[in-house]
């Protein structure tokens, strides 16, 4: 079989971290090749070198058996490499066609030829089953359609090898299956797909072969038909993983958080949360499911003091806390794991030990007589790093130098160790490997069983279904229904995520 990509003995080192340690990767033309590994294993670093964003310290890259050296992504694109990033690179107020051709515009004289652009996008979308309206604005499209636009963009630029980074992270189950249909069609048309994911069940469903990485090295290259999820996980983390969430029945008691008729506007001053009401009790996990962009972010920001609601009431432990500040809410027992760890969770220019005490930096044992107690801070950070397996163990390393997954572990560790009465958890396992996910899930159950009230917001449907004691599904700022996870199917939740009320589904 013809080799589409060869990466031979790739070495990439950053200060204090050997990200890629003599890595070999071979991807054959026309296959879907998955790359999996725990956080900090070096997957993203390896792909960034293939896409020209980074240059290897040593080693060799071959594309269709020709040795290459990329100065940047433009060189990689010229050699047929395309990358669809987890966070889409689209301009919201431009149309689909304008986004696709941006930077490679067709002109008629000196004027942008919009009609030609639309025609080319229509031809591409039809030939690969990527049906999308070329005249639609990006801001009006659901997430799954936006992802199609990203794929069309790479194909428009002549990509023969497509790198997809966590492509299903923001999709409903139905949208995931639509994406897999598209990927199989691309494969049938001779395209080569590199699929990076933490979702091992999806890796087993879509890939032909799987490369497993751990601590910067390749620990195995497996044929999908000759392996299983447990073997992959064992190669990823070096031990057996328990995939099912072990939890006793919840014993909820008094109401900790009560939300009444809450209305919240987004940054465009449009209603993002529309009259939402619910309660979270002590000793339960209340899950909120939904595709990104349906009001969950604005809801969480209003609850945690980051955004002022337009109307409605937020009651914490019997006290009206509507419009209270972040500090006041934290002092009343609320903790928050934000979905955007860079914006709200970390100060990237600070060392880890300062990040570990944010929000509690002015209280004992971290402060005495208006001065920081660095010994207490160091001891606490060292202990929590060990407990939550944050890597590397260097507590003085800057937040920006940790991998994305280990940045997430740092935030989760800080908030879970704050002894909260209510913890608002938004996308807690985003970007985490199976071992870290197992640990986070176990810790959330332990917090629940110790009497903490937990509001869990996640786009990971398996996570919501397995952890939650009750589930609300949000669509377009409203709750489509509140259900018991034991009494509802994944398909029904998926339909609610697409805008169908629970009562309507059950009537059909």
Supply the mean pLDDT for the chain: 91
Give the global pTM. Answer: 0.72
Whole-angstrom distance, CA of residue 154 vs CA of residue 73: 12
pLDDT, tens digit, for every residue of 116-125? 888 888 888 8
Q: Which residues contact 282 (CB under 8 A, 6 or more apart)?
A: 252, 253, 254, 255, 256, 421, 451, 452, 453
Give the pLDDT confidence score for residue 328 in this predicted structure.
97
Give the pLDDT confidence score for residue 126 in this predicted structure.
85
Q: Is the pLDDT of residue 391 over 70?
A: yes
Q: Which residues contact 331 (CB under 8 A, 6 or more apart)?
A: none
Quick check: 213 and 41 in contact, CB under 8 A? yes
Which candidate, 365, 250, 262, places its Cα nearest to that of 315? Answer: 262
Which candidate, 435, 454, 330, 334, places its Cα nearest to that of 391? Answer: 435
Give the pLDDT confidence score for residue 347 in this predicted structure.
96
Give the number of other Cβ atoms within 10 Å of residue 255's Cβ: 15
Give the model's confidence band at 508: pLDDT under 50 very low, under 70 low, under 90 confident, else very high. Answer: low
Give the model's confidence band at 34: pLDDT under 50 very low, under 70 low, under 90 confident, else very high. Answer: very high
Give the model's confidence band at 431: pLDDT under 50 very low, under 70 low, under 90 confident, else very high. Answer: low
Q: Rounded to 5 degrees, what are φ and ψ at 83? A: -135, 130
- The CATH fold assigned to 245-333+420-508 is Rossmann fold (3.40.50)
Q: What's domain 3-237's superfamily in CATH?
A: P-loop containing nucleotide triphosphate hydrolases (3.40.50.300)
Give the pLDDT confidence score for residue 107 in this predicted structure.
63
Give the model's confidence band at 108: pLDDT under 50 very low, under 70 low, under 90 confident, else very high. Answer: low
Q: Is the pLDDT of residue 455 over 90?
A: yes
**DSSP structure string for 281-307:** ETT-EEEEE--TTSSHHHHHHHHTTSS
Q: Is the pLDDT of residue 241 over 80?
A: no
* CA angle, residues 139, 140, 144, in degrees to nearest 5: 90
Quick check: 273 and 264 in contact, CB under 8 A? yes
Cα-Cα-Cα-Cα torsion 357, 361, 365, 369, nearest 10 degrees, comes to: 160
Rama region for 77: left / alpha / beta (φ>0; ψ in -120 to 50; rest)? alpha
pLDDT, tens digit, for every residue of 37-85? 887 788 989 999 999 999 999 999 999 999 999 999 999 999 999 998 8
Alpha-carbon 161 to chain mean position: 23
Give the pLDDT confidence score for residue 82 in this predicted structure.
94
For 294-306, what is the mean pLDDT?
95
Give the pLDDT confidence score for residue 424 in this predicted structure.
98
Q: Is the pLDDT of residue 113 over 80?
A: no
For 225-232, what is the mean pLDDT?
94
Give the pLDDT confidence score for residue 144 in this predicted structure.
78
Q: Looking at residue 247, what DSSP letter applies? A: -
Give the model's confidence band at 323: pLDDT under 50 very low, under 70 low, under 90 confident, else very high. Answer: very high
pLDDT, tens digit, for every residue of 18-32? 999 999 999 999 999
Give the pLDDT confidence score for residue 132 in this predicted structure.
87
Higher-confidence position of 284 and 112: 284
Domain boundaries, the chain: 3-237, 245-333+420-508, 341-419
Give the pLDDT confidence score for residue 440 in this predicted structure.
87
Q: Is the pLDDT of residue 110 over 70?
A: no
Helix intervals (H) in 80-131? 96-101, 114-127
Which run of H or E residues covers position 144?
helix 143-156
Radius of gyration of the chain (CA): 24
């Amino acid at each position: 079989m013809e080799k589409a990509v060869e990466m031979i003995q790739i070495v990439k080192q950053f200060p204090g971290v050997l990200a890629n340690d003599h890595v070999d990767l071979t991807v054959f033309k026309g296959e879907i090749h998955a790359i999996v590994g725990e956080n900090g294993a070096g997957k993203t670093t390896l792909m960034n070198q293939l896409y020209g964003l980074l240059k290897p310290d040593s080693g060799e890259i071959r594309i269709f058996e020709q040795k290459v050296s990329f100065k940047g992504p433009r060189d990689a694109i010229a050699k047929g490499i395309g990358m669809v990033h987890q966070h889409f690179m689209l301009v919201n107020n431009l149309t689909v066609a304008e986004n696709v051709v941006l930077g490679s515009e067709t002109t008629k004289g000196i004027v942008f030829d919009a009609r030609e652009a639309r025609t080319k996008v229509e031809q591409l979308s039809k030939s690969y089953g990527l049906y999308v309206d070329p005249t639609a604005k990006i801001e009006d499209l659901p997430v799954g359609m936006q992802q199609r636009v990203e794929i069309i963009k790479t194909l428009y630029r002549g990509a023969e090898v497509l790198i997809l980074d966590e492509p299903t992270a923001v999709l409903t189950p139905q949208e995931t299956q639509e994406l897999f249909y598209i990927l199989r069609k691309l494969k049938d048309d001779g395209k080569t797909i590199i699929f990076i994911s933490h979702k091992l069940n999806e890796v087993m469903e879509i890939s032909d072969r799987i490369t497993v990485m751990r601590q910067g090295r390749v620990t195995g290259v497996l044929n999908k038909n000759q392996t299983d999820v447990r073997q992959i996980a064992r190669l990823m983390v070096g031990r057996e993983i328990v995939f099912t969430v072990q939890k006793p029945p919840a014993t909820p008691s008094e109401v900790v958080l009560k939300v009444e008729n809450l209305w919240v506007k987004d940054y465009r001053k449009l209603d993002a949360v529309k009259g939402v009401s619910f309660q979270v009790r002590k000793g339960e996990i209340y899950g909120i499911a939904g595709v990104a962009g349906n009001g969950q972010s604005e809801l969480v920001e209003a609850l945690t003091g980051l955004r002022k609601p337009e109307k409605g009431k937020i009651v914490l432990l019997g006290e009206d806390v509507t419009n209270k500040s972040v500090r006041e809410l934290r002092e009343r027992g609320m903790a928050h794991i934000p979905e955007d760890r860079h914006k709200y969770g970390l100060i990237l220019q600070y060392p880890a030990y300062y990040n570990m005490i944010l929000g509690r930096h002015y209280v004992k044992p971290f402060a005495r007589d208006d001065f920081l107690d660095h010994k207490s801070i160091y001891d606490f950070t060292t202990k929590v790093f060990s407990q939550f397996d944050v890597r590397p163990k260097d507590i003085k390393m800057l937040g920006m130098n940790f991998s994305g997954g280990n940045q997430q572990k740092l935030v989760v560790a800080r908030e879970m160790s704050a002894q909260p009465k209510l913890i608002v958890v938004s996308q807690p396992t985003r970007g985490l490997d199976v071992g870290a996910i197992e640990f986070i899930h176990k810790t959330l159950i332990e917090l629940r069983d110790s009497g903490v009230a937990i509001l869990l917001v996640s786009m990971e449907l398996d996570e919501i279904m397995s952890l939650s004691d009750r589930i609300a599904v949000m669509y377009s700022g409203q709750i489509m229904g509140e259900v018991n996870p034991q009494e509802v199917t994944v398909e029904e939740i998926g339909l609610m995520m697409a805008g169908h009320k629970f009562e309507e589904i059950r009537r059909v």
